[in-house]
Copies of this chain bind each other. A is one copy, B any other.
C-alpha cells in the first residue's frame, strides 16, 4: 500500500538531538548533548512517600478519569504560587495543567495558527517547540538573539513585514540553547511591540527557578495588563520530567479553545502525577527544595565554566557565562566548520549538539554548539571538556 502522509508532516524530521542520542547511548561516549535534570535533583523520598499516601487514602481518585483542565487542587496551588511569588495571572487569565510544557506548544499552535501563518522565534531557539510549530505547517521567522535578548530592530521589522504573525515565542530566562537571559528593558520593549502590532507573546519559562547568580528579572507575563501573553511553566526541571507536567496561564478565550483541543489530544493529564505535584507544593517545603536544586546546579554550572575557561577558552572557543538554566552556548572562531568539529568530537567520544539544530532554518550557517552540564557527572564533564579542548588545540 502507498501510505499517504499529510502535507504538514511530510518535511517534519525527528529532532537532530534525538539522532545524536543514538551515539550518546554508547556508554563509552561522554554525552554533553542531553537536557536531563541531574538525578540527584529528584525528591525521590518525598515522591515515594506522597505516592504511598495517595494509594492508601485516595486510590480511586488517582486511577479514575479526571477533568481536562487539570486537577483542581493543583491548578489552585500553581495559580497561588505564580500570583504570590511572581505576580503572574490576572482575572482575564485561566490556568490549565498540561502533559508537559511541550503540550502547550502544541495546543496553542493548534488553537491559534493556521497553516502558513507566521510564528516569530528567537534564533536560536528550543528545537522541541520549533518542531511543534512546524507540525502545524507554521512559517517560522527567527530573530537574532543578542547577549541581552532578541535584536529589537529585527523584531519590529519582522512584525511590520511578516504576514499573519500569530505570536512571538520567547524563553526569557537562561534560554535553551543560548543560555541568554533577556534584559528587563528588552522584555518591556517586546511587550510594547507585541501590543502595538496586536500579536500575542508565548513566554516559555522552564528554567526560571534555576537561577544560580544575579537577580530575578520580572517575567513579561507579570506586567501583562492587556491580556496578550501566554505564560508556560513546567515541573520537568523542578520536580520530574518523567511525570510530564506543565501548565499555561493565558487569556480565557485562548485557553478555552486549548481545553477543547486537549480533550481530543489526551483527555487529561496523568492524574497521579498531578496529585503528587500538588501535595509536594502544599505539604512539603517547596522553597527549600528549590534552594537545594539551585545549589546543585550552581555547583555544576560553575564547575563547567571553570573547565571551559581552562580547556576551551585558551583554544579559541568562547562562551557567554550563564546565570542559570542547564545549558552553555560555545562559539567556534568564524570560518570554522562547526558541524565538522562536532563530528570529530563524536569520533573522540564526546557528544555536543550542533547549533544549527536550533535554527528556524537548519541549513543556515552557525558556528556555535550547545553543552549541557546537568546530566553528566563531574568526572564525565571534565573528561568531555578536556577532549573538546584537545580537539580544539589540534584543529582550530
The answer on a CB contact under 8 Å between A244 and B269 is: yes
Task: For A267, list chain B residues within 8 Å (CB).
Answer: 100, 102, 128, 241, 244
Q: Nearest Cβ distance between residue A224 and chain B, in whole angstroms? A: 10
Give Cα distance in the complex from A272 to B276, angstroms: 12
The answer on a CB contact under 8 Å between B12 and A260 is: yes
Name the contact of A111 in the complex, choosing from B5, B44, B264, B271 (C-beta under 8 A). Answer: B5
The answer on a CB contact under 8 Å between B114 and A62 is: no
Give Cα distance in the complex from A272 to B48, angstroms: 11
Give Cα distance in the complex from A36 to B271, angstroms: 14
Give Cα distance in the complex from A244 to B42, angstroms: 23
Given A52-B48, A260-B14, is A243 in contact with B63 using a C-beta cutoff of 8 Å? Answer: yes
Give Cα distance in the complex from A227 to B2, angstroms: 10
Interface residues of A in 1-49 (CB under 8 A from B): 1-9, 12-15, 18, 34-37, 39, 42, 44, 47-48
Is there a chain B Cβ closer than 8 Å to A257's Cβ? yes
The answer on a CB contact under 8 Å between A112 and B4 is: yes
Task: For A14, list chain B residues within 8 Å (CB).
Answer: 259-260, 263
Give Cα distance in the complex from A272 to B110, angstroms: 28
The answer on a CB contact under 8 Å between A106 and B265 is: yes
Task: For A13, list chain B residues within 8 Å (CB).
Answer: 260
Given A9-B110, A254-B3, is A242 in contact with B266 using a C-beta cutoff of 8 Å? Answer: no
Q: Nearest Cβ distance between residue A176 and chain B, in whole angstroms? A: 14
Q: Nearest Cβ distance between residue A263 and chain B, in whole angstroms? A: 6
Task: For A56, list chain B residues within 8 Å (CB).
Answer: 48
Mark contacts of A374-387 with chain B using CB atoms, 8 A cut-off: 1 yes-contact digit, 0 otherwise: 00000000000000
Task: For A190, list chain B residues within 8 Å (CB).
Answer: none
The answer on a CB contact under 8 Å between A39 and B60 is: yes
Mark contacts of A247-283 with chain B using CB atoms, 8 A cut-off: 1 yes-contact digit, 0 otherwise: 0000101100101110111111111110000000000
Q: Nearest Cβ distance between residue A118 and chain B, in whole angstroms? A: 12
Give Cα distance in the complex from A166 to B260, angstroms: 23
The answer on a CB contact under 8 Å between B266 and A103 is: yes
Mark contacts of A217-257 with chain B using CB atoms, 8 A cut-off: 1 yes-contact digit, 0 otherwise: 00000000011100000001000111110000001011001
The answer on a CB contact under 8 Å between A63 and B264 is: no
Task: For A39, list chain B residues within 8 Å (CB).
Answer: 60, 64
Name which of A6, A131, A259, A273 has the most chain B CB atoms within 10 A of its CB. Answer: A6
The answer on a CB contact under 8 Å between A264 and B106 is: yes
Is there a chain B Cβ closer than 8 Å to A59's Cβ? yes
The answer on a CB contact under 8 Å between B242 and A62 is: yes
Given A42-B60, A55-B51, is A263 in contact with B105 using a C-beta cutoff of 8 Å? Answer: no
Q: Chain A residues in contact with chain B, CB under 8 A?
A: 1-9, 12-15, 18, 34-37, 39, 42, 44, 47-48, 51-52, 55-56, 59-66, 68, 99-100, 102-103, 105-106, 110-115, 117, 128, 131-132, 134-135, 166, 195, 198, 200, 226-228, 236, 240-244, 251, 253-254, 257, 259-261, 263-273
Known: A14-B260, A18-B263, A103-B266. 18 other contacts (CB 8 A): A1-B195, A1-B198, A3-B200, A4-B166, A12-B260, A36-B65, A44-B60, A47-B59, A47-B63, A99-B244, A128-B263, A128-B267, A135-B261, A135-B264, A242-B271, A244-B266, A265-B265, A270-B272
> 8 closest Cβ contacts across the A-B interface?
A132-B264, A48-B55, A63-B240, A270-B270, A242-B271, A99-B266, A44-B59, A3-B253
